Amino acid sequence: MVTNEDVMQITEHVLGTMLELGSYADSADNLLTDRLEAFTGCVHISGEWQGAVVVQGTPELGRLIAQRFLQLAPGEVSEVDVMDSAAELTNMIGGNIKGLVPGPSSLSIPSVTIGSDFNFRLPGTRESAHVVANCEGQPLRITLCESTK
Amino acid sequence: MKVLVVDDSGVMRKIIIRSLNAVGVSDIVEAGDGQEGFVQFQAHQFDLVLTDWNMPVRNGLEFVTDIRKTGSKVPIMMITTEGQRSQVILAIQAGVTDYLVKPFEKESLRAKLDKYVPV
């Protein structure tokens, strides 16, 4: 079973190692859902264990992640840069979580949405872990959804 | 020295190419999946191949198998989130010569590349 602590440890490791960004578990889930440019990344795990990992962050954090991944100046970051970087972040967090669930299993290609005017639902799953990391003052929400079938 | 970089993530390709440039490699060909990578592999003579595992169309493991079927002994480094022992063994059995698990520190990638880049 993957715990919130496992998910937080993986998130800290990915942010710290690849992006040199510090983070810590935040008790407040203050990711505003009406943020127009918030990103939502999702990657599916299929096989012996079935489910998905959802990674959501603020526009500010999306731009910061893109800056660090691509070594860009703040003004150089495009929406595509944010989406590609959020996809890679989701892939890394999801891939490392996959290593903790019963295998064999495979990881899907990540998908990313930017915006807030949508409803997001993974039918047939239940939330099995949920953490909010505070990264440079910005919330990053990671949710592990496990298939109920 | 000519290097083939195969990854469906443009972000990862940029990170890898930055590290290659830092160790003095500029002759680089990119591909976005294993099928495109194999087309490039057959069209050029490479000294090193760097590939992801999880990719659309044809994954990294299939790509490595395709390369080894040609009889090529080119060094192949897999850079992937697949860090479980069983997966590493699968990759080695397919013909991977080096392995780096994501996330990694840039120094780790450069240290790996140093082994293959002539001084």
CATH number of the domain that residue A126 is part of: 3.40.1550.10
What are B27's two structure tokens? 């002759």
Residue A35: what pLDDT? 67
Cβ of B10 within 8 Å of Cβ of A98? The answer is no
Residue A149: its pLDDT value, please?
Answer: 79
Q: Provide the pLDDT for residue A27.
A: 77
> Which residues from B are below 8 Å from A69, CB to CB?
11, 14-15
Q: Measure CB to CB from residue B105 to each of A17, A95, A98 and give the nearest one.
A: A17
Residue B46, pLDDT score: 98
Spell out the alpha helix ranges (H) of A20-107.
59-70, 79-98
The residue of chain B nearest to residue A83, with distances taken between CA atoms, is: B11
Contact residues, chain A to chain B, C-beta under 8 Å: 13-14, 17-18, 69-71, 84-85, 87-88, 91-92, 94-96, 98-99, 103-104, 106-107, 109
Token pair, residue A6, equals 């496992």
Residue B108 lies in a domain: yes
Burial of A39 (0-12, 13-18, 19+ CB in 10 A): buried
Domain span at residue A59? Answer: 4-147
Split into its structural domains, chain A has a count of 1
Give me the CATH number covering residue B72. 3.40.50.2300
Please name which of B10, B89, B37 lies closest in space to residue A109, comparing C-alpha atoms: B10
Of the candidates A148, A144, A143, A138, the one whose C-alpha atom is nearest the C-alpha of residue A15 is: A138
The answer to whether the CB atoms of B103 and A104 lie below 8 A apart is no
Between A25 and B47, residue with greater pLDDT: B47
Residue A55, H or E segment: strand A51-57
Q: Which pLDDT belongs to residue A108?
A: 95
In a domain, B119, yes or no: no
Model pLDDT, residue B89: 95
In a domain, B38, yes or no: yes
pLDDT in tens, B55-111: 999 999 999 999 999 999 999 999 999 998 999 999 999 999 999 999 999 899 999
- Nearest neighbour of A14 by CB, restricted to B9, B12, B103: B103
Domain tally, chain B:
1
pLDDT of B43: 98
Structural domain includes residue B27: yes
Task: Name the 3-class secondary structure at A118.
Answer: coil
- Residue B42 within any structural domain of the chain: yes
Interface touch A18/B81, C-beta < 8 Å? no
Question: Nearest CB to A69: which of B15, B54, B83?
Answer: B15
- The boundaries of the domain holding residue B36 are 2-114
Q: Taking residues B14-25, report their average pLDDT.
A: 95
What is the mean pLDDT, run by run of 10 residues, along chain A of 149 residues?
A: 95 96 83 73 96 95 96 94 97 96 92 87 92 93 93
* Cross-chain CB nearest to B102 (options A87, A92, A103): A92
Residue numbers in B near A17 (CB within 8 A): 103-105
Look over chain B and give the mean of its residue pLDDT values, rounded to a whole number: 96
**ipTM of the assembly?**
0.90
Q: Is residue B49 part of a domain?
A: yes
pLDDT for res A120: 83
